[in-house]
Amino acid sequence: MKHVPLILFILACAGTLFATVLSLTMCMAMGANSSPAALRVLKSLMIGVTLLAIAGVTTGSFLLRAGHPGGALAAALAPAAIMVLAFVFSLVLKL
């Protein structure tokens, strides 16, 4: 039972990595027939998604080392949750 928080944190990091790759793939697919202005926005969005994932996993790692496994799990899952909400929001608005 001692290793359960570590295993959950690793799974959360893997989920965030998957959500990041999915978001980057969707941004690249949206940019296929876009104008130069839209490509600049998509490039900024891709950089933001990548930095969000890096920040979440890094913060989670520091919290896990500090002895806060619940906070680490939340920090690692937050970027994935934000990306899923953004994806659903873009589907609802048909962007």
One-letter amino acid of 71: G
pLDDT value of position 90: 78
Asked if 12 contacts 73 with a C-beta cutoff of 8 angstroms, the reply is yes
Q: Does a structural domain hold residue 57?
A: yes
What is this structure's pTM? 0.85
In whole angstroms, how large is the CA radius of gyration of the chain? 15
Please name which of 85, 61, 82, 84 lies closest in space to residue 73, comparing C-alpha atoms. 61
Please name which of 60, 61, 40, 53 lies closest in space to residue 82, comparing C-alpha atoms. 53
Q: Does a structural domain hold residue 39?
A: yes
Q: Does a structural domain hold residue 29?
A: no
Q: Does a structural domain hold residue 12?
A: no
Q: Into how many domains does the chain fold?
A: 1
Q: Does a structural domain hold residue 19?
A: no
pLDDT value of position 2: 81
* Structure-model confidence comparison of residues 33 and 55, the more confident one: 55
Q: Does a structural domain hold residue 45?
A: yes
Q: Does a structural domain hold residue 91?
A: yes
What's the domain range around 49? 1-7+35-95
